[in-house]
Amino acid sequence: MIVIVSNRVPEDRVSEIIHYIEKHDLSTHVSRGEDRTVIGIIGKADPMVAEHLRQMKDVEQVVKITKSYKLASRDFHPLDTVIDIKGVKIGGAELTVMGGPCAVESPKQIDEIARLVKMAGGQVLRGGAFKPRTGPYSFQGIGVEGLEMMAEAGQKHGLLTITEVMTPEYVDVCAKYADILQVGTRNMQNFDLLRKLGTIQTPVLLKRGFSATYDEFLNAAEYILAGGNPNVMLCERGIRTFETYTRNTLDLAAIPVLQNLSHLPVISDPSHGTGRRELVEPMAKASVAAGANGLIIEMHTDPDNSMTGDGVQSLFPDQFAQLLQDLEKLAPIVGKNFQTAKEPILAGSWAI
């Protein structure tokens, strides 16, 4: 249930309404918009309490929310959430680009890719140190050493960093080194992991499970929010369909759907969403046109020899840079702010 109060109502009156709600063993979540304040009620309110609230002076409306997720919903929180990480804003009118390899492989590899992400105008360096591989014999990532290498590269080149965390036990060490923690598609409903991420304040990029409905996805985000971490981004990364030509089917409609249902920033991953290099650029542009708040893109200096199988979907550095330049032109047309570094990256000009 939400209680809507006009912003003309004095603050102490709003506090009285909140006090009345909390007296009945309910908790509240307050969201202040431009014209109205929304008091979200968490817990099941007695019909008598609901009726009393309806009759209260200064209460504009009492609306029953039937959705199972509350804190993630736009009903509870009408304005877009904008997450500020060391001055980089994610959400609202900002367009954020995260780029980098599937996995951190060596200090030289991650340092060179970080340099190229920065030169192209990206704001966040991606790279996995713990990889969720389908088979147990595949390369599993280089672990904590990889986190150290990526943190160093990020700092040196002035980029934020994002890395995947797979288990609750590794949340603290990953949060020590990275600015954003990624929950992979295979762990979207790893509830112990989500609960643990709710206990910290480090921003989380939650990837949609490859068979998850929007409702399941938003409920997964709700676990993190309900634990007390408000810094959650949603990531559409493709879902499993009958099509085999592409690795996954990037659900472009998920972008506006999630933005209608939720206030959280929506990031698109056209790399895992298609699994094919030639489709990354058009799907990245389509995602921005559909309103995405950001992109997470795999880029590698030597994709043919990358240590995971994701080289086939990784852009070369010059393709990544060209895409960002194009996005700079597209962004204002769809109401987004984005600026590239405008430094050309010539084909083959990077170290391997």
How far apart (Å, rounded) are the C-alpha atoms in residues 110 and 146? 9
Report which residue's Cβ sits closest to ligand PEP: 184
307 binds Mn ion (CB under 5 A): no
Listing from the earlier edge strand, what are the strands of the sheet with 2-6?
A: 27-32, 36-42, 2-6, 59-63
- Only one residue has tokens 């030169």, namely 119
Among 310, 316, 321, 323, binds Mn ion (CB under 5 A): 310
Contact set for Mn ion, span 87-146 (CB under 5 A): 102
Among 109, 185, 202, 274, binds ligand PEP (CB under 6 A): 185
Among 132, 282, 332, 335, binds ligand PEP (CB under 6 A): 132
Among 77, 263, 272, 300, binds ligand PEP (CB under 6 A): 272
18's contact among ligand PEP, Mn ion, none, with CB below 5 to 8 A by partner kind, is none
Q: From the CB of 299, what's the least distance to Mn ion, in Å?
A: 11
Kindly report the number of other CB atoms within 10 A of residue 82's CB atom: 14
Cβ atoms of 220 and 232 closer than 8 Å: no
The amino acid sitting at 125 is L
Region of residue 91 (left: phi > 0; alpha: psi -120 to 50; beta: else) = left
Of the candidate spans 65-73, 166-174, 238-246, 305-313, the one that interacts with Mn ion by CB under 5 A turns out to be 305-313
**Count of residues that bind Mn ion according to CB under 5 A:** 2
b/e sequence 251-271, b meaning 16+ C-beta within 10 Å: bbebbebbbebbbbbbbbbbb
237's contact among Mn ion, ligand PEP, none, with CB below 5 to 8 A by partner kind, is ligand PEP
Contact set for ligand PEP, span 233-262 (CB under 6 A): 237
What separation in angstroms does the CA of 351 have from each of 114, 141, 306, 347?
Answer: 12, 22, 14, 11
207's contact among ligand PEP, Mn ion, none, with CB below 5 to 8 A by partner kind, is ligand PEP
Chain positions contacting ligand PEP, by CB under 6 A: 102, 128, 132, 184-186, 207, 237, 272
